[in-house]
Structure formats: C-alpha cells, structure tokens
Chain A
Amino acid sequence: MLSIVLLIVFIIVGELITGNGERNKQNMTEYEELMGLGETQAHVPGPVEVFKLAIKELSHPFYDNGPNDKGIGTQLFYSILRVMAGYLLSVLIAIPIGFLTGMSPLFYKALQPYIQILKPISPLAWMPLALFVIKDSILSSIFVIFICSIWPMLINTAFGVMSVKKDFLNVGRTLEIGNFKMAFSIILPAALPTIFTGLRISMGISWLVIVAAEMLVGGTGIGYYVWNEWNNLDLASVVFSIIMIGVVGMFLDSMISFISKYFNYQE
C-alpha cells in the first residue's frame, strides 16, 4: 500500500520538476527555425513521457529495423542469454571446485591467496585480455560474466561445505557412510543454503556487469542499447531502459530465490 502511495508521489514530483523541452516558437526568427531550434530540446523526460514510450516499446518488443534499431525485448534477450551462458559455465566450474576446496582445509588454504587477489579485480579489467585472446566480442562478454560470477559461488560453496555441522558428519560416520555418499547425502544438502546465497550474489553481479560489458563491446544487448540511445540523445529511452534493467534484475534474483526455497531447510 505504502509503496503505491510512494510511487504516486514520485510520479507527481517527477512530472513537476522535469520540463517537456518545448520552446517558444512564436518569437523565433526564420534563421532560428531553419537551424532546427523549433524542435524539442533534449531534456530529462518526465514520468508520463517515459510511460508513453514504455507502452510503445513494450507493445512491439521484438521488432528489428537494422543493427541500430532493435526492440527492447530483443536487446534484453541477448543480454540475458549472455548472462546465462557465463553464469552456467561458472556454476559448472565453481561448485565442484568449491566443494573440494571446502572438504580439504589444506586445499582451501592453498587457494585462498589466489582467490583473494583475483576476486577484487573489476571484471571489465579482463576485457582487453579477453578480446585479444578470444577474438570475439560476444564470447568475451560471456567470459567477463564468467569471471565475475565465479568468485562468490566458489567462496560460498567452500564456506558452506566447511561449516557443515560436525554433528551431521558424526551421524554419517556412525552409520559407516562412504566418502562419496557422505558428500552427496550429508554435506551437499547441508551446504545448499549457503551455496544458494553465493548463486544469488553472483547473479546480481552478473547482471550489473553485463550492462557495462555491452557498452564496451557494442553490437547488441541492453547495455549497448542504453549507450546507443545516449548517443541519439533520446533520454526517454535511456530512462526507460534503466527501468527495464531494474525489472529484469529483480526477476533474475527472485528466480534464484524461488529455486532455493526447495533446498532450504530450517533447523
């Protein structure tokens, strides 16, 4: 309820403080009109303008009028596809490695300095190297997603496995469960909630990074779209795509938390 009130207040205030970019055309000389000054000026769009654009864009989300004019749906689709590819790749690598790391304290200590150094590197810093080595802009952006989402997963998986309660392990030991079965029937389910926390953080970071990565590599995707509309000085589209980025990010996050509900347990 309160959210709706806040939204209404926000829209009204937004409408009041933003202009519509119209100029006074009456007092213009012929020269000024010829110079295009009669056109609407670039301005920060108000909520109503953005809303109108949103309806127009969302009613045809997948149109394609050449490389510089694609529908918002197409752009988002490309971005999501890249995020998914990089993300799934890092799931496949981070979870098994994190698992083994968590099982062996020695391995954990040995990997720790490398993880600590690699983790704070901005994923975009990898971009030039990726572009040079991979020589393909799309694969490079997937690689960037991969490298940024792997660390939270790896650390959380290792931490989750390490902090499995000793009691649960003792239950397994008194039942003479083998190592392999122990890993899958006791350690994995016990660590899953922590692993999912890592998966969620990674998804958030991936979605943050894809926008920046696509601004760099260009071509397609929501990041490219934002930058392209900035170059067109179409600020209504920029605001609209900012909102869409937020909506999709929320959707991706709630998707992971929805899946994780099935694996969470309460003590």
Chain B
Amino acid sequence: MATNPQDEFSVTGSDQAAPSGVGQILRAARERTGKDVAEVAILLRIRQPFLQALEEGRHRDLPGGTYAIGFLRTYADFLELDGEEMVRRFKQEASDDLHPRSELVFPSPVSEGRIPNGALLVIGLVLAGAAYGGWYWLNSHNTTVAGTSTALPERLMSEFSRPASLTADKAASAKPDEAGQAKPDDGQAKPAADAAKSAEAPAPAPAADQAKAEDRGPEDKVAGNVAPPAAAESGAAKPIPAPADAAKPAEPATPEVAPAGAAEPEPAKPDAGKPADAAKPADAPKAEPAKVTQAPPPAAPTAASPAPADGGGSRVVIRAAADDCWIQVREMDGQLLASKLLHRGEAFSVPNRPGLTLTAGNAGALAISVDGKTLPPLGAIGQVRRDISLDPAKLPPAP
C-alpha cells in the first residue's frame, strides 16, 4: 500500500460512513498523481462513468461483477496500489450489490400456450375410453346374446344348477351344454339328471316338464329312424332333420317356439311315456346305463331351440361333426351375427335370411345340412375357409 487512507480527508458525506472505502482510496491515489478522471479514462480505456462509480462507491452503476472487479484491478494497478488487496476489500464492500456468480438463465423457446401435456394426456385417455366404450356398446347391441356367448363349462353348470332358486329357464339352458357334449357314460349323465331335478323343483316345473315331453317326441322318432347311440351323440343337430323325416315340418317347429302352448302333438304321444319314464328313473340316482343314454337326448332339442327360435325354423344347420370348430357368421352388410366356438357335436342353426356368409376355422370338421340333407365337407380338417355363402341355393348340392 502506497498510502494510508485514514490520513486522507473525506470528500462526500457518504464516504464518511466508510472512511477506508475502496472508492476513497482510489480517489486519493488519483489526486496524488494529479490526473483527473477523464485523463485516466482515456489511458485505461475504461469509460468515465464507470471510474466515477468506482470512486463514489456506486456499485449498482457498474457492469456485472467480473467487469467491475477487472476495472478496479486495472485502476488500482495503474495507481500503483495493491490490486489484489483492493479487490478483496471491494468484494467485502459490495457483497450486497455484486454477484460474481452471475445467474445463468439460458433463453428457451416460448411455449406455444396450448393445452399442457398433463391435460392432453388425460383428455386422450378419456377419448380413448369413450371410443372403446362406444364400440363395445354398438357391438353388444347388434348381436344376440345367444349367438355370441359361449357355453359355460359343465363343471360350473352343475354348480349353478344346484341352488333351488334357479328358474327352469336356466336349468333348460344348462342342459344343452351337457347334451352338446353328451356321451353315453354315467358321469355326465348324472349331472344332467340333477339338472332335470332342479328344473322340476321351482314353479315353472310343469311347463318344463311338458316341454320335455314334447321334445322327446321327435327325438324318439329320430331314435327310431337312426341308431340310438348316434342320436345320443348328435342330439343337438338331429331334431330338425327328424321332423323332416316325419314329413311334418311345421309341427315340430311350433313346439319348439312355444313349448307350453302345443302341449300334445300327435306323434309325440305314444312315445312320450317312455322317455318320461326314462327321465324319472334318472331322477333317482341309480340310472340304468341304457336309459341314461337316452336321458341326455331329451334335453338336446332345447339346446337347438333358442337359436332357430328367431329364425322360425332354419333351413341351414351347421354342425361340428368331426371336431371343435370356430365359426363366424356375418350379415349381408358385414355385420357380425355370430362368432363362437362350436364344440364337437354342437350345432348352429342359421337364420333364414339371404346374404349370410360363414367363416370357418376348421372347415373339415363342419357338416352343413340344408333341409336335413348333409352336404359334402367344405374342406380338409384344419383348413380355414372364409366368406362361404350360406344361401341354400348357393351351397354345393348334396350328393
């Protein structure tokens, strides 16, 4: 230090508050050299206002921290003062006004002021949900439930049929499943018998009974015409061909549509007694095997009945004869009518409407019959066939 700042006189009131202020020392040193600020500014190339601000301690008028300190160091070195010491003091004095560590805020593109991302996401999700819901609603309202729903496994059905509160309706729909997969063995026959029992328990039981009696009529005829085991196996598909055999196409249809109304059709009567008998022993746990084989078939017609019910007696019936097969039936305008898996032995009666098309996942397993005449298979086992017209006229003729 070349001078002792305490000996120097103070110039302004503000300097009195800081007698050893950096500005004061600078001014004193400059005055000793006999130069004025303008001269120094030209020599140091530092603008005069900045030098004055340094001398007067107006830290806010100086450019940013680094520059102010650089100017001070240059000025102090020029005045032959200890630059580093002056910088140290200056930093102490100006710690409030100077921020040597300038805040760095990089310019970033202005956001376009649209919907924020979070809201966009939520709206997108809601829209997606709405679209799915709408699609689901449309689809579920245009197809019949009977056409699209697949049958419940029999294990569950036997569970369901136990509670007595179940209506005969449910019991009746339970039976088709068993009948569909029915094979003449004891294990499956017994649940069927149970189902029959529970069906008889509630109020509608008499009606159900009657229906059974009627259904048995044609079935027994079939049994008469065809070999009984075959009838038992293909119970679901046969009832329609059966009336054709009997040369009474209209009559069996009516019992199916309104089972309760047409109570006693002629052909049914003579045989009705026997299956009824057969069913009753089946109620009792110890059913004879021969009778058990007959017990499922009575249920079979009811299985077929819901589907043709809206068609009013369909001409074309698709039956999964050789194996399980997935089928899809579409309307003329491409609308889905049915899409289901036909288990072996199950049948699907096609409504009598023009322009229906069939897609089959296992064409060889299907047996299509028109008016009771079985057509040649559509393809090999495992072959997929699409867009087969189901118009009776367009199907290949029966052999």
Please determine whether chains A and B interact with each other in the same assembly: no
What residues of chain A have their CB less than 8 Å away from a CB belonging to chain B? Answer: none
